Amino acid sequence: MKSDTLAGPLYIGTGQTDNLKEVVKMMKLFQERYPHIQFHLLSGDKETLLKQLESGILDFGLFIRDYDHNLYEGIPLKSTNSLGILVFKDHPFASKKIIKANDLKEEKIMVARQAMQDQEIPDFIEHKQIVAVFDLPENAKIMVKEKLGIALIPDTCYQDPDLKFIPLENMPLYHWHLIWKKKASSLLQKKFIEILKSEY
């Protein structure tokens, strides 16, 4: 790809996910054409990142699930995730290939704050079962290792020899989207959107 003189920073917000690989491929393709671009990856939860996107701190945001089409444009990524539980390797569930709703009746469960705010906790999990709420998946991993309970979590970024992820039965897949404010304001944003749309 022919080099260009376009230069400057481009800010992308994301939570913790290995689905970032798709976006990084687009970043690499973009920088091959515009080698003077500097990418900045900012981490945070959904609420924080949306505020930064709205205020212009971020140019793009990577989010799981759908988004407000009245405020943003976006592209769906190819990657998906399933919802399941994270358990310590010696937990009785560790030998299971799938978890059914009835399996969880007596379990102590940790859940993500964002899932609570978005009312995405499955109905079969009772409020009295929730022993902890977390923002960062890394914190959930520590709590599972210390056997505070098991974590309700999507299957991304949790590779650890002491832990096992087991999908929940009959749960919908989560889809990821890279989004931006309608009417991109900068030339950098517009050029990056062109690359995205050419690849998807």
Q: Are residues 51 and 100 in the same domain?
A: no
Residue 93 lies in a domain: yes
Six token digits for residue 114: 């964002």
Domain range for 158: 83-172
Compute the average pLDDT of residues 166-190: 90
Residue 50 lies in a domain: yes
Confidence check: pLDDT of 2 > 80: no
Q: Are residues 93 and 164 in the same domain?
A: yes
**pLDDT confidence band for 76 (50 / 70 / 90):** very high
Mean pLDDT rounded to a whole number for the chain: 91
Percent over 90 (pLDDT), the chain: 68
Q: Are residues 92 and 158 in the same domain?
A: yes
Q: What is the DSSP string of the chain?
A: ------EEEEEEEE-S-TTHHHHHHHHHHHHHH-TEEEEEEEE--HHHHHHHHHHTS-SEEEEES---TTTEEEEEEEEEE-EEEEEETTSGGGG-SSB-GGGGTT--EEEEHHHHHTT-S-TTS-GGGEEEEESSHHHHHHHHHTTS-EEEEESSS---TTEEEEEBTTPPPEEEEEEEESS--SHHHHHHHHHHHHH-
Residue 72 lies in a domain: yes
CATH assignment of the domain containing 104: 3.40.190.10
Q: Are residues 24 and 92 in the same domain?
A: no
Q: Are residues 110 and 149 in the same domain?
A: yes
Q: Which amino acid is at 36?
A: H
Residue 2 lies in a domain: no
Residue 129 lies in a domain: yes
Residue 164 lies in a domain: yes
* Number of domains composing the chain: 2
Q: Are residues 139 and 179 in the same domain?
A: no
Q: Are residues 71 and 147 in the same domain?
A: no
Q: Are residues 99 and 168 in the same domain?
A: yes
Confidence check: pLDDT of 62 > 80: yes
**pLDDT confidence band for 20 (50 / 70 / 90):** confident
Compute the average pLDDT of residues 106-128: 92
pLDDT value at residue 199: 86
Q: Are residues 69 and 114 in the same domain?
A: no
Q: Are residues 88 and 139 in the same domain?
A: yes
**pLDDT confidence band for 1 (50 / 70 / 90):** very low
pLDDT value at residue 166: 96
Q: Are residues 96 and 158 in the same domain?
A: yes
Cα(119)–Cα(59) distance, integer angstroms? 28
Q: Are residues 159 and 140 in the same domain?
A: yes
Residue 1 lies in a domain: no
Compute the average pLDDT of residues 148-175: 89
